[in-house]
Amino acid sequence: MSPQQTEANTLTLLEAARQMASATLSEHDAEVALALAIQRGELHADIMRWATEQWEGKQLPGNINRLETRIERADFEAWRARSKG
């Protein structure tokens, strides 16, 4: 699989949150929902965490780095489908 195919099949936590954001769900609230799902083991992710001195923007549970944490698109879609039920 080429690097472009791999990147097309994964999302950063921020990209996933942007797909979830709506008139009733802010981008940050979507980020928190994703971070909590990751922390609870409901959503698999390749987690990167911020060191205290590196925090960028609003904190997420577990100091999860929204820019570098990667989620497989298939895992994200499956989690979203389960979450809506």
Tens digits of per-residue pLDDT, 56-79?
Answer: 677 888 889 999 999 999 999 999
CA separation for the pair 52, 41 (Å, rounded): 23
User: Pairing relation of β-strands 70-72 and 10-12?
Assistant: antiparallel
- 71, amino acid identity: I
Segment 16-69, tens digit of pLDDT: 999 999 999 999 999 999 999 999 999 999 999 987 666 667 788 888 999 999
Q: At 2, is the pLDDT very low, low, confident or very high (cuts 50, 70, 90)?
A: very low
- pTM of structure: 0.85
Is residue 14 a contact partner of residue 66, using CB atoms and an 8 Å limit?
A: yes
- 60, amino acid identity: L
CA separation for the pair 76, 13 (Å, rounded): 10
CA separation for the pair 27, 63 (Å, rounded): 17
